[in-house]
Amino acid sequence: MICHVHIGAQQEKEAMPAIIATLEKEPGRPADPDTTGLYVISNHIGTNSSLAFWKDVIKNGPAFANPELFPWTLANSVCGAIARHFGITGPNYTYTCLPDDEACINEVIKQASEDREKYGLSATWIVIVH
């Protein structure tokens, strides 16, 4: 299953409800989260929160920067949040490349196929975040 989600300039934390709602519609909850692989593709995951975090550091100093923003600055934050929400414990990866990069998408599909065989996955979610 490949799903496209658009977050634009939203910070990742604020975008999560829309991402989750999109995934709840299609594909819906995985039948077996333990045998579901999750692969997220984006060229800007973490960027919006990083900018907000570092603006806060510049404004208030590092001792007073909002630590709540920091986890969302990491590229794998969205993948982890999706996995936690849906209980997915199979392999999960975050690929930082353009959402329309065919070579990257082919690499993700190849990895998902290898994981499906290696781990006996029942489902594969590829989520492309724009």
Task: Give the sheet arrangement for strand 92-96, strand by strand.
Answer: 2-5, 123-129, 36-42, 92-96
pLDDT at 91: 96
Contact 74, 46 (CB under 8 A): yes
Residue 17: which domain range? 2-129
* pLDDT attached to residue 70: 74
Q: What CATH number has the domain bearing residue 67?
A: 3.40.47.10
Q: Please count the structural domains in the chain.
A: 1
Q: What is the pLDDT of residue 18?
A: 86
- In angstroms, the CA 48 to CA 16 distance is 13
Supply φ then ψ for residue 93, to 5 degrees: -135, 150
Give the pLDDT score at 43.
Answer: 82
- Over the chain (130 residues), the average pLDDT of each successive run of 10 is 76 81 88 96 78 85 78 80 95 90 94 97 92
Q: What is the pLDDT of residue 14?
A: 78
pTM above 0.75, yes or no: yes
Alpha carbons 120 and 46: distance in angstroms, whole number: 31
